Amino acid sequence: MTKVKVFVTLKESVLDPQGAAVQGSLAKMGYGEVADVRIGKYLELTISETTRDIDSVVKEMCEKLLANTVIEDYRFEVEEEN
Amino acid sequence: MTKVKVFVTLKESVLDPQGAAVQGSLAKMGYGEVADVRIGKYLELTISETTRDIDSVVKEMCEKLLANTVIEDYRFEVEEEN
């Protein structure tokens, strides 16, 4: 089994209203030092043994389903396990 | 400015229907080797200079707003910047 961590984030140029809402709430709660909040997705994939190259398979999955590459960036880390 | 990366994930014991849906879609798309998908949140906080201790402030924010500690776990990494 291989564990892969995928991070999907909005591109810098894309507005993040959810992040802005969280930042506003934090400010009201007394955490005015938080200047900016950006919210993304964090996925943990467990991949069973395969003859395919993990890196290229994960890249394909990100491009096709996990990230919307028009407005989102992604990166991933492959972790060996067992 | 300090950058903090926060990872909020569902606890192991909590069902993740969103992850199950993504895993099902991946299987239909020909990625049957993906045995499990868990989906969480990934937040990037930018924190301006403060006299408070960053670690304890971030912990407080997670407990109070960013994570629902009944069903979610969180961890964070503090990165110095500029």
Structural domains of chain A sorted by starting position, each given as residue range(s) with its CATH number in brackets: 2-80 (3.30.1280.10)
Phi and psi (nearest 5°) for A55? -55, -45
| Gap between the Cα atoms of B41 and B9, Å rounded | 7
Q: What pLDDT was estimated at residue A82?
A: 59
> CA of B37 to nearest chain A CA: how many angstroms apart?
5
Contact B37 A19 (CB under 8 A): no
Question: ipTM of this model?
Answer: 0.89
Residue B80: its pLDDT value, please?
Answer: 78
Interface of B with A (CB under 8 A): 1, 7-9, 19, 22, 25-26, 29, 31, 33-50, 52, 57, 60-61, 64-66
Rounded distance, CA A18 to CA B3, Å? 18
Give me the pLDDT at residue B82, please.
Answer: 59
Q: pLDDT, tens digit, for every residue of B42-80?
A: 999 999 988 999 999 999 999 999 999 999 999 999 997
CA distances from B6 to A10, B29, B37 (A): 15, 31, 19
Q: Which residues of A26-53 are buried (b: 16+ CB within 10 A; e: fewer)?
A: beeeebebbeebbbbbbbbbbbeeeeee
Cβ separation of B61 and A33 shorter than 8 Å?
no
